[in-house]
Chains A and B, each alone.
Chain A
Amino acid sequence: MNKIVQIDPDQVEELGPLYAARKKVYPQKVSGTFRRIKWGLMAFCLGVYYFLPFVRWNRGLGAPDQAVLIDLPNSRFYFFFIELWPQEVYYFTGLLILAAITLFLMNSVGGRIWCGYLCPQTVWTDLFYAVERLVEGDRRERMKKDASAHRWTLERISELVLKHSIWLMIAWWTGGAWVLYFTDAPTLVKELVTFQAPAIAYIWIAILTATTYLLAGFMREQVCVYMCPWPRIQAALTDEWALNVTYRYDRGEKRMSVKKANELRALGQHAGDCVDCYQCVAVCPTGIDIRNGPQLDCIQCGLCIDACDNVMKKIGRPTRLIGYDNDINIQRRMEGKAPIYRIVRPRTITYVALIALVGGIMLYTLATRSLLDINVLHDRNPVAVKLSDGSIRNAYTVRFLNKRGFDRVVAIDIDGPQDAKLHVVGGDSITPDRPMIVLGRDGTTELRVLVTAPSDRNPEKSIPVKFRVTDIGLGEVASTTDNFVTP
């Protein structure tokens, strides 16, 4: 039987709507160790992103000299000394696996290091906040200006125009740097400046300008809280030993004023170090209170640590009331034991071992990969041809891959049918039994190859035939197998 639940409209009103409007966050300026780390990492990440396309790497004549280049028209990926063809895309799979395990490792050592310091959303939002602070002033000023009744003064409008112009400029450079990875950077910059660049370049710049401007300028912490799956995955990756940005409530509680705490301490009683100054909340880029414990909205950027340390120094108490810590140590301290930190433990060892294993396999395959390859496609129409003397001929389309940056001479031979003869169409080789051909640099060569064998020596319907290609100079060998068919 179904029970119909009557909802009282008044009750709904009491609970409030399920939708909560965003409360704008006004992070306050802060200085300290973690702020310095964040500036440094921001400079590094943005520096790499913006300037890497301009780094040159000599690959010889006829090859692009850009160190990192995704050459889509020619289907090549260049990364310094590495050149990848589309069929080697599995190296990217390996990189993704490495990236995933590295994230796991960071997480088990120091919590959301990625979110707090390295994620593009964090880096660009941080940069946009810095611009906002520079133009509009710090937290209090910005709050006052936004709340003011006389908002639209000339000064205020010019301030906003300046801020958005700088934001758009940063966003434009972000999109601009992106397209530089796909073609020769200096050439494209010249073309962009003179409006000669292909339309697709401008379209991509426009798209990435828009996303950067929106994500870093307006959506900000909402991306982390509502859009990103990573905070949700955290729960499955952390453990009790992982160090997270933590409010040490064993030290902080019970909160009280400096004066009251001094009085209690004079009496030899326990007093909390937290003075409820709300500095940790004021500097938080996601607008949370870390003292409520670990929470999804916390990106663990460490700025509250800096804010709290500054206050602790002022009131003459030990720093790191907020710090990288875990609940085990809080419990231990409450029991009067010394805290223990276990960064090296089975979980982290496993991750490091996995990284070493995957990285090792990738390096090994990269170092030993063949730069010569051969693919064979058997003619289907006709599959086999009977010749006037009764012997059988099969035709194959053979594709040779020369991944080296220079032309080379290779010899082809086959293994399989008895007394088989090999002929390369259009190849007038001086060694007819083992035809030699020239393979052009960094490319493929397609040839029609005929294999003829007497039918009385080869009575089987289908005989495996191995095609082998040998570099005359370097001795590199590649081979593949197909079938020789008799009608």
Chain B
Amino acid sequence: MAETELDQVSGKTTTGHQWDGIKELNTPLPRWWVLTFYATIIWAIGYWVVYPAWPLLWSNTTGLFNYSSRADVGVELANLEKIRGDKMVVLGAASLEDIEKDPALLALARARGKAAFGDNCAPCHGSGGAGAKGYPNLNDDDWLWGGSLEQIQQTIQFGARSGNAKAHEGAMLAFGKDGILKKDEIVTVANYVRSLSGLSTSQGYNAAAGAKLFADNCASCHGENGKGNQELGAPDLTDKIWLYGSDEATVIETITNGRAGVMPAWVGRLDPSTVKALAVYVHTLGGGK
């Protein structure tokens, strides 16, 4: 052991360590600090005993209380489901019409519907249900498959062209790609379709030829007057709302290549009460019939 000595200036002893004649003063850690340090070590030992701490080969020590944060989350989630469940049972038992008439049930359904909409529907329809090209705006009063509460519920449950046995079927044919109509015929019928909702037609367009082409090819689904058919998901061509766009090029593209947007089926993925809440929420966005 090196020799210690008393430093005259500071009044402290030195540790005896010396580098190039520079000596180190002995300044031990404060006692409270050391005691706290030992206390934390003792605390840690207690922690090993009480809480899961040591990894074993295939598992780990579980501790005295068998505590697990994962189990805690499970309990919390179960509690949430229970709280929600009681209310959702009420929702599940009421008819769609009754829900809309009862202010308390309506508020509950709209709150639950809003949350479920954000989780499941917003990626396509937008967080406010305003839609996008190819994805219908759910706020307006134009419905491909019907806008009553039951029809909306039906569409959410089984979807459109989703592969579900009860899904809405029927698609816009690809008149150009499949060679049913020639290019100039498509241009003519596209102009005719635009004229149905009062949009301008291009120069040299033959209205009579357009009407004939429409009657021969389109009227079977869209109706004689182009009013559409919700049984087939054929849109109303006389209104101001266009799912893919109303300019001539887009209409020509639609007629040439056809359209078949898909809405997935939610039955089995969402419980019936949630689907009900979603139907009410979508219906009360403003466009419901």
- Which residues of A are at the interface with B, using a C-beta cutoff of 8 A? 379-382, 385-390, 393, 395, 425-426, 428, 446, 448, 450
Contact = CB atoms under 8 A, between A and B. Distances in A.
B287 interface: yes
Contacts of A379: 128
Contacts of A390: 240
28 contacts: A379-B128, A381-B126, A381-B127, A381-B130, A382-B126, A382-B130, A385-B130, A385-B139, A385-B286, A387-B140, A387-B141, A387-B142, A387-B241, A387-B287, A388-B141, A388-B142, A389-B240, A393-B139, A395-B139, A395-B286, A425-B284, A425-B286, A426-B103, A426-B106, A428-B101, A446-B107, A448-B286, A450-B286
A468 B71 CA distance: 53
Nearest to A449: B286
Interface residues of B, number: 24
B188 interface: no
Contacts of A381: 126-128, 130
Nearest to A427: B103
A446 B104 CA distance: 11
Interface in B196-210: none
A389 B239 contact: yes
Given A381-B126, A393-B286, A426-B284, A386 B100 contact: no
A388 B236 contact: yes
B245 to A, nearest CB: 13
What secondary structure prevails in chain B residues at the interface with A?
A: loop
B191 interface: no
Contacts of A428: 101
B240 A386 contact: yes
A425 B280 CA distance: 11
Contacts of B285: 395
A393 B240 CA distance: 14
Contacts of A382: 126, 128-130, 137, 139
A381 B127 CA distance: 7
A382 B139 CA distance: 8
B101 A388 contact: no
Contacts of A386: 140, 240-241
B239 A388 contact: yes
A426 B101 contact: yes
A400 to B, nearest CB: 12
B282 to A, nearest CB: 12
Contact of A388 (B100, B127, B140, B284): B140
Nearest to A423: B286
Interface string B166-193: 0000000000000000000000000000
Nearest to A452: B286
Contacts of B140: 385-388, 393
B101 to A, nearest CB: 6
A82 to B, nearest CB: 30
| Shortest 8 CB-CB contacts between residues of A and residues of B | A381-B128, A388-B239, A382-B130, A385-B139, A390-B240, A388-B142, A426-B106, A425-B284
Contacts of B127: 381
A385 B137 CA distance: 9
Contacts of A380: 128
Interface string B34-52: 0000000000000000000
Contacts of A426: 100-101, 103, 106, 284
Interface string B151-174: 000000000000000000000000
B113 to A, nearest CB: 12
B201 to A, nearest CB: 19
Contacts of A388: 140-142, 236, 239-241
B123 to A, nearest CB: 14
A163 B241 CA distance: 86
Nearest to A385: B139
B153 to A, nearest CB: 17
A446 B142 CA distance: 27
Contacts of B240: 386-390
A387 B142 CA distance: 7
Contacts of B137: 382, 385
B147 to A, nearest CB: 10
B278 to A, nearest CB: 16
A227 B222 CA distance: 85
Contacts of B110: 448
A170 B81 CA distance: 48
Interface string B78-107: 000000000000000000000011010011
Nearest to B128: A381
Given A382-B137, A395-B286, A426-B103, 18 more contacts: A382-B126, A385-B139, A385-B287, A386-B140, A386-B241, A387-B140, A387-B141, A387-B142, A388-B140, A388-B241, A389-B239, A390-B240, A393-B139, A425-B284, A426-B101, A426-B106, A428-B101, A450-B286
Contacts of B126: 381-382
Contacts of B130: 381-382, 385
A387 B137 CA distance: 10
A379 B129 CA distance: 12
Nearest to A382: B130
Interface string B216-238: 00000000000000000000100
A379 B286 CA distance: 11
A430 to B, nearest CB: 14
Contacts of A387: 140-142, 240-241, 287
A354 to B, nearest CB: 48
Interface in B235-289: 236, 239-241, 284-287
A448 B282 CA distance: 13
Nearest to A425: B284
Contacts of A389: 239-240
A453 B149 CA distance: 24
B223 to A, nearest CB: 15
B111 to A, nearest CB: 11
Contacts of B128: 379-382
A134 B103 CA distance: 65
Contacts of A425: 106, 284, 286
B287 to A, nearest CB: 7
